[in-house]
Amino acid sequence: MRIVVNKRIQSVNESATLAVKEKADRLKALGRKIFNFGPGEPDIDTPQHIKDAAIRALEMGKTKYLPVLGLPELRDAIANKLKSENHLNATASSVIVCNGGKQAIFEALDVILEPGDEVIIPTPYWVSYPEMVRLAGGSPVILPSDPNAGYKLTPEVLTKYITKKSKVIIINTPSNPTGAAYSRKELEALAELILKSGLYVISDEVYEKIIYDNFQHTSIAALSPEMESRTITINAFSKTYSMTGWRAGYAYAPKEIIAAMGRHQSQTTSNVCSITQYAALSALSGDHTFLEKLLVNYKHRRDLASQIVKSCPGLTLPFLPDGAFFLFIRIESLIGRKWQNRIINGSRDLSEFLLDEAGVALVPGLEFGDDSAFRISYAMAEDQLVAGLMAMKESLNKLS
């Protein structure tokens, strides 16, 4: 019997970042020395007080269904965090707890979009944005960006892509994959046009606490009551608290949107794992001193990795990232070079070359909408970071 799946799912690609991790793990299992720069997750374990809270919840039998929108105490804690740190007029009734930021973004798109609605996505983008839009029945509209301008969208560029079908714009600050982050002034300029155009904003702020050099994070929803009424703010516990596998994220939005997301979630996943939610509550209310040390380490690794990358033949790095833990590295001068009777035509060719020659696994920029770059994560042990980058540098010398 022939199995037929619908055209919508046929148009969706698998997650490139997860695919790189799985391929690297397979090669490691076969005995190859692999430097895996692909995963977008912290290299430290979940802080002990968060794990202790999960253990206590298990021992107390907190293993039953919870409200679909989330544990009431956790929603209160999230609302208080949004009020005190992000300066938003949040209440628990405007918060939903989801299975990671990924589910929160997809649910928001799925309850907002009608078939054919356009979603504006600046490049380089997180790999899942266009695929989520397609799954929700929308049409992704991909905007170009200038690496020499920090990959940041400007009103002058945005206005050229707004049409009668435009419904949503996705803003990711700090950015995955570039680490670029919008200042308050830059967001204000965009917000003026966004409000004039009647767009909704999905503001992905998952990396808000992983920032450097005294950068001040701003939530676009905090700019005005009007902007807050048109913004779905997305966040997660994965990056800040090293809880990637726990699957805990949340959305803050107008109550009507949160209620719709709750109906959606009630028919798909129901509540997030109860133990995870008690752990997330401890993450918000517990000790945050681990983050200060972690940021010092990330900044050191960012600076170290940047120095080595700049010494690699054919690679360029337009700027130092303001946040996250990635470098988005340009490869324009390597395009057209030869390798084993093959020509490097883009980021996938180069990623295959580096995996074969150096054992370096990375994510091609094509997956982020920019085929003239690739992404590496520096959230890894310093000795592995240096060894992997030096292996990459040595291999690049072999390209003719």
d(CA 203, CA 175): 11
> Taking 80 as the threshold, does the pLDDT of residue 27 lie above it?
no
Given this model, what pLDDT does residue 61 score?
A: 96
Given this model, what pLDDT does residue 334 score?
A: 93
Of residues 26 and 347, the one with the higher pLDDT is 347
> Taking 70 as the threshold, does the pLDDT of residue 16 lie above it?
no
How is the chain split into domains, by residue range? 7-45+289-396, 62-285
Of residues 28 and 236, the one with the higher pLDDT is 236
Given this model, what pLDDT does residue 398 score?
A: 84
d(CA 315, CA 333): 7
- Side-chain-side CA neighbours of residue 379 (13 Å): 21
Which class would CATH give 7-45+289-396?
alpha beta
- Give the pLDDT mean for 362-370: 94
> Taking 70 as the threshold, does the pLDDT of residue 35 lie above it?
yes
DSSP character string of 271-338: S--HHHHHHHHHHHHS--HHHHHHHHHHHHHHHHHHHHHHTSTT-B--S--SBSSEEEEE-GGGTT-E
Cross-strand bridge partners of residue 119: 140, 168
- Give the pLDDT mean for 205-223: 97
pLDDT band at 25 (very low <50, low <70, confident <90, very high): confident
- Give the pLDDT mean for 17-43: 77
- Pure H helices in 137-176: 155-158
Question: What value does the mean pLDDT of the chain take?
Answer: 93
d(CA 220, CA 209): 15
CATH 3.40.640.10 describes domain 62-285: yes
> Taking 70 as the threshold, does the pLDDT of residue 362 lie above it?
yes
Q: Return the structure tokens found at 87.
A: 């300066």
pLDDT in tens, 367-392: 999 999 999 999 999 999 999 999 99
> Taking 70 as the threshold, does the pLDDT of residue 317 lie above it?
yes
Question: How long a stretch of residues is the chain?
Answer: 400
**Percent residues over pLDDT 90 in the chain:** 80
pLDDT in tens, 127-163: 999 999 999 999 999 999 899 889 999 999 999 999 9
